[in-house]
Amino acid sequence: MKSILKRISNHQKKLVELKKNLMPIAILESLPQFQSESKNLASAVLNSEFGLIAEFKRRSPSRPSIHLDADITEIAENYKIMNAAGMSVLTNQRFFGGSLEDLQLAKSVSNLPILRKDFIVDPYQIFESKAYGADAILLIGAMLKKSEIEEFSKIAKDLGLEVLYEIHELAEIHKVEVEKIDLIGVNNRNLKTFEVDFNHSLELLKELPKHLPKISESGIDNQKTIKNLIDNGFDGVLVGEMLMTQNLQQT
């Protein structure tokens, strides 16, 4: 059975080829947002108490229903009120129920730096991210070759976008040149079992470049865990399901 990342990668590559025909890069470059100046996510994380990157997602492969009818503009406003350092927007439709429209709407109501969280497999998606209002993109070490990470991070830099580089295993640290990324994230979830292991992440933390903002991602569901991660050396946390569930309970 194919891993979840392999299935997603195959789907993304087919989708990107279709998009290239429907909306070439030249059209993306002509969109108003493409010329805007990006906000600095890394700086926002380092200058906040908990470095909270609040995530918007309706569902995930590990949890098919989180908040399926969530209103992106309402939740973006809530994240701003709670003094999040930044906002992460899932734009993958098939596996997470997101869209580029979500990214646009979040950008229209929020002054937070916005991370486009998706599965980048082609340079086209980086131009797309800029055109739809992202300030930063996610690159996943387990999904990409070293040459792809180098190419994609350079394109992002050229477009004024920051890069959050995500790892699951120690070997993935060595696939990237640290000067080409802006933040490094450790995903707490095992992609094969979907189990969360914070101890594994804390072990990886010891090996991370000292000068980069370090973000703990996935499976964070209470304030005690957030405090423990920050106290042990992470600069920030990316939290989605806990916040989305809280918003669901309030509606």
Task: Work out the percent of the chain whose per-residue pLDDT is above 70.
Answer: 97
Q: For residue 217, is pLDDT > 70?
A: yes
Q: 1 falls in which pLDDT band (50, 70, 90)?
A: very low
State residue 98 phi and psi, 5-degree precision: -100, 180
Is 218 among the catalytic positions?
A: yes
**DSSP for residue 208:** S
Domains parsed from the chain with CATH numbers: 4-250 (3.20.20.70)
pLDDT digits (tens, 9 = 90+) for 222-239: 999 999 999 999 999 999
- pLDDT class of 59 with cuts at 50, 70, 90: confident
Residue 140: closest CA among 184, 98, 86, 102: 184
Percent of the chain with pLDDT over 90: 80
Query: Is the pLDDT higher at 69 or at 16?
Result: 16
For residue 92, what is the enclosing H or E element?
Answer: none
Is 39 tagged catalytic?
no
Active site annotation includes 128 = no
Which has the minimum average pLDDT: 26-35, 143-152, 191-200, 204-213?
191-200
Q: Is the pLDDT of residue 191 over 90?
A: no
pLDDT of residue 245: 82
Q: Which H or E run includes 249?
A: helix 241-250
Indicate which residue of 60, 110, 188, 218 is catalytic. Answer: 218
pLDDT of residue 248: 57
Give me the catalytic one of 128, 166, 172, 241.
Answer: 166
Rounded mean pLDDT of the chain? 92
Catalytically annotated residue among 117, 130, 175, 214: 117
Q: How far is CA 64 from CA 4, 58, 140, 152, 222, in A?
A: 14, 8, 22, 30, 20
Tokens linked to 205:
């933390």
Query: For the residues 73-93, what does the mean pLDDT come to?
Result: 95
Nearest by Cα to 148 from 176, 182, 118:
176
Q: Helices in 25-134 by DSSP H: which ranges?
A: 25-30, 41-46, 72-81, 93-96, 100-109, 123-131
Partners of residue 166 on adjacent β-strands? 140, 185
pLDDT on residue 166: 97
pLDDT beyond 80 at 61: no
Q: Is 217 a catalytic residue?
A: yes
- Per-residue model confidence as pLDDT tens digits over 128-184: 999 999 999 999 999 999 999 999 999 999 999 999 999 999 999 999 998 999 999
Q: Which of 57, 107, 175, 214 is catalytic?
A: 57
pLDDT reading at 2 higher than 80: no
Candidates 55, 128, 162, 241; catalytic one: 55
Q: What share of the chain is helix, strand, coil (3-state, %, to 5)?
A: 45, 15, 35
- Crossing angle of helices 223-231 and 198-205, rounded to 10°: 20
166 is catalytic: yes
Catalytic annotation present for 55: yes
Which position among 128, 172, 217, 241 bears the catalytic label?
217
3-state secondary structure of 114: strand
- Scanning the structure block, which residue is given the tokens 């010891």? 206
Rounded to an integer, the average pLDDT of 67-87 is 92
CB burial class (10 A; 0-12, 13-18, 19+) of residue 22? exposed
